[in-house]
Chains A and B, each alone.
Chain A
Amino acid sequence: MTDRLARTPLHEEHLALGARMVPFAGFEMPVHYAGIVEEHKAVRSSAGVFDVSHMAQFRVFGFGAFDFLQGVLTNDLRKISELGAAQYTLMCDEDGGIIDDLIVYHTGDLEYLIIANAANREVDLDWLRSRCPAGTTIVDGVECEHRPDAGLVELADESDRTALIALQGPAALEVLGELTGPGWEPPARFHIAEALVDTVPALIARTGYTGEDGVEILCHAQTASRIWRALLSFAEVTPCGLGARDTLRLEMGYHLYGNDMDRGVDPVSAGLGWVVGKDKGPFVGSEAIARIRESGPSRRLVGLRVDEGVPRPGYPVLHEGEEVGKVASGTFSPTLGVGIATAYLPVELAGEGTGVVVAMRRREVPATVEKPPFVKSTSLS
């Protein structure tokens, strides 16, 4: 993994906009253009556009696709039996350890689209392959036809030829409507639909990671620049980097894989029990998760609001002088003007309003346990 960094199809666009580029999950990605706070506020008040093409896209199809995914993912796939519906879900190991968090879209008859974390692309594929029923065909990064007769399940890694552009904010749908033309209705929240964006064919998902209304636009890598430029031609739209993406998602308490969860954490402790189907039958990790549910977790992921300074991942969290956890995610909230964080704390300290202390580099700062979202009112709420 010491190879040079990968680039998204929008790399040249970022350079032209003067982005500050940083390594992220093996990619060279824009962390900000004008500034994180400015971009953050643009998304909360108008609209921002993000290149999230580093994320992985898998397509699973065939007669066995439903049974396969139902057996390897935690959420109940029956909830998205309607074509176009989507759900947030997890992939866990036998011990309930979280391998990745995903969004699954029911894109077609016998067909599902999965969007996964960039850093987990290979891990996810290896895991899916190892759990695939016999007769599985893996098609990597190439065009593939829908050929259910070729096997029970086909799994295609489409990450390299796909771009993903997020358009988020209260003005997002109005802007998109200008580009899709009259007669096209956006899909409902957590649904996906086809559209022509500035005449370019794309899939529009009404999902996001900011807490604002908006969409994620999935298109062919070669058409990404055209859509990107079309979106930025609107005065309402600000280009936003990964920096603002992180502050926006943490204000909402959305989890970030690698910070808020990993293989050592189960869904119940992570506060993600709501994406574990309760009566869907067995799936990988179901027994372990049921046991944890029954006995109750010993630690829970909580939100923290600090009195001053900016909490950073890894800072110790103290209670009565003892270290009781570490900051998992931490940042400055541009909306609230205070430092916010998440941390795994013993359940007896996880109640809202509990006072703890965050040990920053030069001083210890009081913090209060708070149930996310930290920002309660957005265009989604």
Chain B
Amino acid sequence: MYPSDLKYDKEHEWVRVDGDIAVIGITHFAQDQLGEVVYVDLPSEGDSVVAGETFGEIESVKSVSELYSPVNGEIVKVNDALGDAPETVNEDPYGEGWMIEVKLADAAELDAMLSAEEYEAFVTEEA
């Protein structure tokens, strides 16, 4: 449920890093807590994201949650397919359900994020 090649934060986002590019989405735990996702409000390409600040919003029938960026950088790609198929976030949170791709300002800041093991321990405690 928590792939070991990803990094995690306590706001339930995951990051997949390839060079200086980071793909960001929400975790299995987050999508399960939300229930069926019906709307995802994402920023635009070229926008900046700041670590610890919100970059968008995700809505299920029963609740709305902020999306927090775990990293600093510039958005190079947005998953526009979620506009027509927001339920993809539930069905494939680590694959087709990704949200934004960010060109990292400083790849070293990822070191502070949680490993899959650490994140799993964190959500077990929270649940």
Q: Decide if A36 touches B64 in the complex (CB within 8 Å).
A: no
A242 CB to closest chain B CB (Å) equals: 10
Nearest-neighbor residue (CB-CB) of A363 within chain B: B41
Interface residues on B, range: 10 to 19
> Do B36 and A310 touch (CB < 8 A)?
no
Q: When the two chains form their complex, are residues B39 and A38 in contact, meaning their CB atoms are under 8 A apart?
A: no
Whether A36 and B61, one on each chain, are in contact in the complex, defined by CB atoms closer than 8 angstroms, is: yes
With A36-B62, A310-B59, A361-B64 known as contacts, the answer to whether A332 contacts B39 (CB < 8 A) is: yes
B62 and A31 contact, CB distance less than 8 A = yes
When the two chains form their complex, are residues A332 and B41 in contact, meaning their CB atoms are under 8 A apart? Answer: no
- Please tell me if the beta carbons of B35 and A361 are within 8 angstroms of each other in the complex: no
In the bound complex, what is the Cα–Cα distance between A331 and B61 (angstroms)? Answer: 6
Q: Is the CB of B35 within 8 A of A310?
A: no
Cβ B64 vs Cβ A37 within 8 A: no
A312 → B minimal CB distance (Å)? 7
Q: B62: nearest residue on chain A (CB-CB)?
A: A243
B75 at the interface (CB under 8 A from A): no
Which residues does chain A contribute within 8 Å of B39, judged by CB atoms? 308-310, 332, 339
Q: A4 contacts the other chain (Cβ, under 8 Å)?
A: no
Q: Given A35-B35, A310-B38, A310-B64, do A332 and B59 touch, yes or no (CB 8 Å)?
A: yes
Whether A362 touches B41, Cβ cut-off 8 Å, given contacts A35-B36, A36-B35, is yes
Interchain nearest-CB distance for A105 vs B (Å): 31
* Max count, chain A CB within 10 A of own CB: residue among B35, B57, B60, B64: B35
Q: Is A299 in the interface zone, CB < 8 Å from B?
A: no
Residues of B in contact with A (beta carbons under 8 Å apart): 35-36, 38-39, 41, 57, 59-62, 64
A351 proximal to B (CB < 8 A): no
A123 to B105, CA, bound (A): 59
A32 in the interface (beta carbon within 8 A): yes
Complex Cα–Cα for A334 and B35 (A)? 13
Q: Tell whether, in the assembled complex, residue A38 and residue B36 are in contact, meaning their CB atoms are under 8 Å apart.
A: yes
Nearest Cβ on chain B to A42's Cβ, whole angstroms: 13
B57 partner residues in chain A, CB cutoff 8 A: 361-362
A310 to B39, CA, bound (A): 8
A247 B41 Cβ-Cβ under 8 A: no
Contacts of A339 in B (CB 8 A): 39
Q: How far is the CB of A310 from chain B (nearest CB, A)?
A: 5
Closest residue of chain A to B54 (Cβ to Cβ) is A362
Beyond A35-B36, A36-B35, A361-B57, 8 additional contacts (C-beta under 8 Å) are A35-B35, A37-B38, A308-B39, A309-B39, A309-B59, A312-B64, A362-B41, A362-B57
Contacting residues, chain A, for B59 (C-beta < 8 A):
309-310, 332
Sampled A-B contacts (26; CB under 8 Å): A31-B62, A32-B35, A32-B62, A35-B35, A35-B36, A36-B35, A36-B36, A36-B60, A36-B61, A36-B62, A37-B36, A38-B36, A243-B35, A243-B61, A243-B62, A308-B39, A310-B38, A310-B64, A331-B61, A332-B38, A332-B39, A332-B61, A339-B39, A361-B64, A362-B57, A363-B41
Cα separation A37 to B57 with both chains bound (whole Å): 19
Taking the closest CB of chain A, its distance from the CB of B27, in whole angstroms, is 18
Q: A362's closest neighbor in chain B, by CB?
A: B57
Residues of chain A within 8 A of B35, CB atoms compared: 32, 35-36, 243
* Distance of A134 from chain B, by nearest CB (Å): 48
A312 CA / B38 CA spacing, docked (Å): 14
A233-267, CB under 8 A of B: which get 1 and which 0?
A: 00000000001000100000000000000000000
Bound-state CA distance A308–B36 (Å) is 16
Once the chains are docked, how many angstroms separate the CA of A308 from the CA of B82? 13
- Chain B nearest CB, measured from A358 CB (Å): 13
Q: Nearest B residue to A243 by beta-carbon distance?
A: B62
**Which chain A residue shows the least CB distance to B59?**
A310
Give CA–CA (A349, B61) in the complex, Å.
27
